[in-house]
């Protein structure tokens, strides 16, 4: 028995060592760590928690996966001339999105430089194609271009921007600073905003969002949580980059223009044929007009839709307070039932019209108000 005792003790010690280092999951290294510190990082409690997302996160992922292949990068090249007659290429970048499997792409007019640029479209798979311009619409900062990819392309669904409400989630995809396929999220911050573009045009009815929009996002889609396009990312407030004030053209405006292009093959521009000045207050009273004021017709072109509707220009001109003023002209006080509030009231209404549309005017003539309906003409195509 004494002979076996060392072997029994040795076996017991080996069994104890195996238990301590395996079955009990002891970490002998802890004995030698200062303060008994554990591992400096931790891992998920279970493998099942890896790859799962919150509902809102999963929605972001699903919308992005459904829209990224239909969102494109657009590079434009315009050749300019220096003071010394040297010609150099100026390159710009923006975004767009495919609206039909045949390769039609909607973007901003300023992304394509008003139709003067040579355009290259890069798809999500990094394949590039030269693009041709189908139409540009400076009034609404829209353009439709087309590529021939030799295959059907994924396209986005156009939603209903009239159903957009403040507070709903939106997602923007684009090419900010050249980083293609970038997703940002936010909410609709406000509706019906009016902003002024760099070329002093006004864009009305814009969707405001705090989703990060930066240079290069222009022309890309603003999506709702179902992946429908509700706006076209167009502008930011200020030149310093994203500060949470981005603006998108409501998609319903683009849908109306796309429908007109499909029906007519071009985008019509309305014509009226008058020149006006805004008068109100004391100046209006000097001319025996209502102090609330309106647009005074200074000239009526002949022939024109305004002349056909019987609008009157001045019968004579008088000098008052060193100003040459028209007398006997019609004063336009309302347009389509909305009061005239400034010099740009007529232009704002015309921006929503097309050739052949009717425009209702309320005019003040010979001491009384009356309504006149004008059928707008269509400007020649450029």
Active site residues: 110, 141, 218
User: Rounded to an integer, what distance in angstroms lies between the CA atom of residue 188 and that of residue 170?
Assistant: 7
In the block, residue with structure tokens 């705090």: 210
Per-residue tokens: 319? 């000098």
Q: Which residues of 324-343 are buried (b: 16+ CB within 10 A; e: fewer)?
A: ebbebbbbbbbbeeeebeee
Strand partners, 137: 142
For the chain, the residue count is 382
User: Rounded to an integer, what distance in angstroms lies between the CA atom of residue 267 and that of residue 259?
Assistant: 10
Per-residue tokens: 93? 């970048």
User: Rounded to an integer, what distance in angstroms lies between the CA atom of residue 206 and that of residue 229?
Assistant: 14
At residue 260, the 3 state secondary structure works out as: helix
List CB contacts of 128: < 8 A, sequence separation 6 or more: 120, 121, 122
Phi, psi of 57 (to 5 degrees): -65, -45
Give the chain's count of helices (H) and strands (E): 6, 22
């Amino acid at each position: 028995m004494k002979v076996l005792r060392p072997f029994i003790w040795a076996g017991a010690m080996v069994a104890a060592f195996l238990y301590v280092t395996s079955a009990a999951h002891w970490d002998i290294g802890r004995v030698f760590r200062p303060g008994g510190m554990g591992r400096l990082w931790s891992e998920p409690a279970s493998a099942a928690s890896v790859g799962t997302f919150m509902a809102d996160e999963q929605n972001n992922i699903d919308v992005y996966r459904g829209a990224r292949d239909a969102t494109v990068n657009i590079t434009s090249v315009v050749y300019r001339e220096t003071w010394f007659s040297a010609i150099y290429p100026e390159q710009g970048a923006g975004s767009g999105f495919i609206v039909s499997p045949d390769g039609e792409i909607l973007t901003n007019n300023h992304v394509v430089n008003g139709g003067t640029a040579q355009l290259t479209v890069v798809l999500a798979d990094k394949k590039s194609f030269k693009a041709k311009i189908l139409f540009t619409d400076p009034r609404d900062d829209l353009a439709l271009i087309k590529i021939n990819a030799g295959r059907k392309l994924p396209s986005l669904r156009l939603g209903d921007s009239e159903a957009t409400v403040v507070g709903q989630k939106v997602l923007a995809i684009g090419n900010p600073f050249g980083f293609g396929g970038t997703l940002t999220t936010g909410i609709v911050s406000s509706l019906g905003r009016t902003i002024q573009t760099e070329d002093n045009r006004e864009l009305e009815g814009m969707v405001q969002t705090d989703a990060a929009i930066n240079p290069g996002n222009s022309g890309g889609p603003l999506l709702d949580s179902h992946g429908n396009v509700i706006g076209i990312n167009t502008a930011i407030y200020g030149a310093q980059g994203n500060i949470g004030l981005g603006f998108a053209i409501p998609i319903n405006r683009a849908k109306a223009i796309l429908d007109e292009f499909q029906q007519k093959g071009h985008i019509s521009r309305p014509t009226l044929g008058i020149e006006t000045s805004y008068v109100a207050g004391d100046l209006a009273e000097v001319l025996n007009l209502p102090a609330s004021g309106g647009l005074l017709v200074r000239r009526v072109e002949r022939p024109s839709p305004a002349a056909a509707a019987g609008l009157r220009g001045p019968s004579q001109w008088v000098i008052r307070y060193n100003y040459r003023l028209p007398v006997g002209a019609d004063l336009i006080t309302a347009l389509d039932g909305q009061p005239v509030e400034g010099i740009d009231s007529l232009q704002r209404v015309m921006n929503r019209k097309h050739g052949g549309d009717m425009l209702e005017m309320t005019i003040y003539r010979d001491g009384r108000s009356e309504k006149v309906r004008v059928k707008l003409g269509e400007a020649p195509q450029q």
